[in-house]
Structure 1
Amino acid sequence: MLTVALFFFANILFCLAYMVRDMAYLRAITILAAISTLPYFYFQATPLYSAMVWQVAFIVINAFNLTVLLLQRRPVKLSDEEQWLKHTTLRLLKPRKIRRLMQRAERYEVPSGEHLIHQGHELNALLLLLSGEASVKADGQRRAMLQPGDFAGEMSFISGKLTSADVVAEAPVRYIAWPASTLERLYQRDPELKDALQGTIGMDMANKLTR
């Protein structure tokens, strides 16, 4: 009988669903399996409506989660600026994480001679230069130059200590900043982002020491 064959097929699909590792395939196979059980339950001498209701509930739940999963996997088209950061500073981050990070960034522009960071102050944000140059000065002595793609004040930001130097724009500077509270919320939602960003900051420090 066709309904029995469908029920047998549904159970094979359920077994297959337990074998696959990809969550999208698991949910898709589970949905197909649950749909295949409905004719069997309906065409019994007394239709098993309670079983059908539960199967429909499983179908709806899995269909919702499958839709969310597929939306999360959509290819991300980065802007020119995001593409530049992907190939320079944020190489360790996947495109979707870069997009999420950039959407939370606050943008600033300062003229030449303006301070981005003052020595001896608490820094509650992570800064990243997009254009222009800035000098790092400790006690009035220039220690380093920051270029587009460089983080600024990352040591103090990570350690929580007061800033050890001034960062002054040598030309008009555009930069973005992530307040500590914003990053903390992102980290709570995506722990992998924290690891990738900390690795990126470490690479940035190494590049500066090399320069």
Structure 2
Amino acid sequence: MLTVALFFFANILFCLAYMVRDMAYLRAITILAASSTLPYFYFQASPLYSAMVWQVAFIVINAFNLTALLLQRRPIKLTEQETWLQQTTLRLLKPRKMRRLLRLAETHEIEKGELLIEKGQELNALLLILSGHAQVEINQQQRANLYPGDFAGEMSFISHKLTSADVVAEEPVRYLVWPAHTLERLYLRDPDMKYALQGAIGMDMANKLAR
């Protein structure tokens, strides 16, 4: 009688699993439901071993995926630089996604007076200043200043048009570079990353206009 009750309980859990939206809860409930069917299959007049094997396989697969999901959701400890970026320029990205994005970036440095961006060039990368100060110039006339946390050349990067100004380092500048092809591959794997990064670029442009 108990085994029958467990079997009905398992079916209720299966129904419940398909009603929840959180994948971790779905897998956890499914594991419990599948486990509850094992006594029923075992204590039949002739144990249903084939059914038990399939249920165990089902449990193992869901347990593996649940473990992977929980590991992905673990809180991560950000570095000082990552914390600063997460609180400013990249605040639309969740910490784990932001770290994934940062790991794809190349870090470059230039000295005072060197060009970060040259006018009339095709810009196939997205740039983000980490430290230092740069100046946007058109025909050697200052038009704007770029500071840590600012994107550089984002308009040309988004529009695929030639750069309209020079960007000159006013002091040593350290910056991140994301090649366009690297971001495109990332967007294919994670479309939400594209929208979040575009939102960050939009907010950066709005902040520059407000200065």
- Scaled by the length of structure 1, the TM-score of the pair is 0.96
| Partner AA of 1:31 in structure 2 | I
Partner of 1:171: 171
Partner of 2:64: 64
Partner of 2:11: 11
| Partner AA of 1:200 in structure 2 | A
* Aligned-partner Cα distance in 2 for 1:96–1:124: 25
Partner deviation per Cα, 1:16-68 (whole Å, 9 max, x = no partner): 21222211111101101101111111121111112112111211221121112
* Aligned-partner Cα distance in 2 for 1:61–1:37: 16
- Unpaired runs of 5+ residues, structure 2, are none
Partner of 1:55: 55
* Aligned-partner Cα distance in 1 for 2:168–2:174: 12
* Aligned-partner Cα distance in 2 for 1:133–1:121: 21
Partner of 2:143: 143
* Aligned-partner Cα distance in 1 for 2:140–2:119: 10
State percent identity of aligned pairs: 79
Partner deviation per Cα, 1:80-109 (whole Å, 9 max, x = no partner): 001111122112111111111111110011
Partner of 2:118: 118
* Aligned-partner Cα distance in 2 for 1:161–1:76: 38
* Aligned-partner Cα distance in 2 for 1:183–1:190: 10
SS in 2 for 1:70: helix
Which runs of structure 1 show a deviation greater than 6 angstroms over 4 or more consecutive aligned residues?
Answer: none
* Aligned-partner Cα distance in 1 for 2:189–2:67: 19
What pairs up with 1:7-86 in 2 under 5 angstroms? 7-86=7-86
* Aligned-partner Cα distance in 1 for 2:20–2:205: 42
* Aligned-partner Cα distance in 2 for 1:28–1:87: 34
1:132 shift after superposition: 0.6
| Partner AA of 2:123 in structure 1 | L
CA RMSD of aligned residues (A): 1.1
1:139 shift after superposition: 2.1
1:163 shift after superposition: 0.7
Partner of 2:93: 93
* Aligned-partner Cα distance in 1 for 2:179–2:91: 21
What pairs up with 1:190-205 in 2 under 5 angstroms? 190-205=190-205
Matched residues, number: 211
| Partner AA of 1:125 in structure 2 | A
| Partner AA of 2:201 in structure 1 | I
* Aligned-partner Cα distance in 1 for 2:9–2:25: 17
Partner of 2:104: 104
* Aligned-partner Cα distance in 2 for 1:12–1:209: 57
- Scaled by the length of structure 2, the TM-score of the pair is 0.96
Is residue 189 of structure 1 aligned with residue 161 of structure 2? no
* Aligned-partner Cα distance in 2 for 1:171–1:102: 24
| Partner AA of 2:34 in structure 1 | A
| Partner AA of 2:26 in structure 1 | L
